[in-house]
């Protein structure tokens, strides 16, 4: 894979870096991406349909079982070289008093497990569950659940602390994302098909601000021809090589 000198120079000169990640970053940890999530008994379900409040109202057991299947996969997963390279990049930039914000669409918390600190969970996490009656939230790490859906002490059904299609993103996460995009001069899009809004529009906000843009993705996406550097391939191979060339880490 070719790591271009002008990319290395631009990243070394960057003052405020924003990274947007998607399911492709966790693929090398054994977690199926949204596109590839149609595995085994879940093959007949459309993730875009299951990840909705309507589906949970209609069939909370099936939706809770799907999320518990994903929790079991995430529980068994370890951060991969892409996660670790991003944690290392954050530290290198911090050492140079440069800005770094990791905006993730992933709900698996593998970035945090790899040591990333300034992480914004745009779509929530499947490790926190919320009561649909009293609103109480708890971190739930034990897998699998004993009942579907899991019940709250008040008797209410509990749902995953994720953002479903048709639901607004958490206000605080959106504000953190906009503040980071306002200040950024370097934007990475990594392991995302770049179709789900509003995250898919972040790169356009960064470009409008004159930020340099890079895409690292296995397959072409709607933004592949809009970025300054398009790097097709595996994030777990490209990111460590880029960080090694740029910051000798």
Residue 16 vs 74, nearer CB to ligand BV8: 74
Q: By CB under 5 A, is residue 96 in contact with Zn ion?
A: no
Helix (H, G, I), strand (E, B) or coil at 53: helix
Choice from 166, 208, 225, 248 touching ligand BV8 (CB under 6 A): 166
Between the alpha carbon of residue 119 and those of residues 8, 51, 181, the distances in Å are 23, 22, 14
Q: With binding defined as CB under 6 A, does residue 28 bind ligand BV8? A: yes
Q: Please tell me whether residue 152 binds Zn ion under the rule CB under 5 A.
A: yes
Stretch that binds Zn ion, among 25-33, 120-128, 134-142, 221-229 (CB under 5 A): 134-142
Task: Give CA 105 to chain center in angstroms.
Answer: 3
- Contact between 235 and ligand BV8 by CB under 6 A: the answer reads yes
Catalytic (active-site) positions: 123
Which member of 88, 161, 191, 240 binds ligand BV8 (CB under 6 A)? 191
Q: Roughly how many angstroms between the first and final C-alpha of the chain, as a whole number?
A: 18
Tokens 């690292």 correspond to 216
Q: Point out which span in 8-16, 32-40, 113-121, 135-143 binds ligand BV8 (CB under 6 A).
A: 32-40
Long-range contacts of range 222-225, CB-CB < 8 Å, 24 or more positions apart?
222/194, 222/195, 223/189, 223/194
- Judged by CB under 6 A, which stretch of 1-9, 27-35, 93-101, 151-159 contacts ligand BV8? 27-35
**What is the largest distance, in Å, between two alpha-carbon atoms of the chain?**
59
The partner in contact with residue 134, picked from Zn ion, ligand BV8, none with C-beta cut-offs of 5 to 8 angstroms by kind, is: Zn ion
Which part of the chain contacts Zn ion (CB under 5 A), choosing from 65-73, 151-159, 182-190, 227-235? 151-159
Residue 218 to residue 10: CA distance in whole angstroms: 23
Instruction: Tell me: does residue 204 bind ligand BV8 (CB under 6 A).
Output: no
Distance in Å, CB of 237 to ligand BV8, minimum: 8
In whole angstroms, the minimum distance from the beta carbon of 22 to ligand BV8 comes to: 3
Contact status: 225 vs ligand BV8 (CB under 6 A): no
Helices (H), 59-209: 60-76, 81-95, 110-113, 171-183, 202-208
92: left (phi over 0), alpha (psi -120 to 50) or beta: alpha
DSSP string, 62-73: HHHHHHHHHHHH
Site residues, Zn ion (CB under 5 A): 131, 133-134, 152, 154, 156
């Amino acid at each position: 894979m070719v790591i271009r000198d002008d990319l290395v120079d631009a990243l070394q000169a960057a003052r405020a870096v924003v990274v947007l990640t998607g399911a492709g970053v966790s693929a090398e940890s054994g977690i199926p991406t949204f596109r590839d999530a149609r595995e085994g008994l879940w093959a007949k379900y459309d993730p875009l349909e299951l990840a909705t409040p309507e589906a949970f109202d209609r069939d909370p057991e099936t939706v809770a079982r799907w999320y518990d299947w994903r929790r079991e996969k995430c529980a068994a997963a370890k951060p991969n070289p892409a996660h670790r390279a991003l944690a290392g990049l954050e530290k290198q930039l911090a050492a140079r008093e440069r800005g770094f914000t990791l905006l993730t669409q992933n709900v698996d918390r593998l970035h945090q497990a790899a040591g990333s600190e300034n992480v914004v969970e745009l779509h929530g996490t499947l490790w926190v569950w919320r009561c649909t009656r009293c609103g109480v939230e708890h971190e739930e790490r034990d897998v699998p659940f004993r009942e579907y859906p899991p019940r709250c002490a008040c008797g209410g059904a509990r749902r995953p602390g994720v953002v479903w299609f048709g639901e607004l993103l958490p206000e605080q996460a959106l504000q953190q994302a906009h503040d980071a995009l306002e200040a950024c001069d370097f934007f990475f899009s990594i392991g995302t098909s770049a179709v789900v809004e509003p995250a898919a529009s972040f790169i356009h906000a960064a470009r409008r601000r004159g930020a340099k843009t890079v895409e690292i993705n296995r397959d072409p996406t709607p933004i592949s021809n809009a970025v300054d550097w398009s790097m097709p391939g595996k994030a777990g191979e490209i990111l460590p090589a880029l960080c090694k060339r740029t910051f000798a880490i």
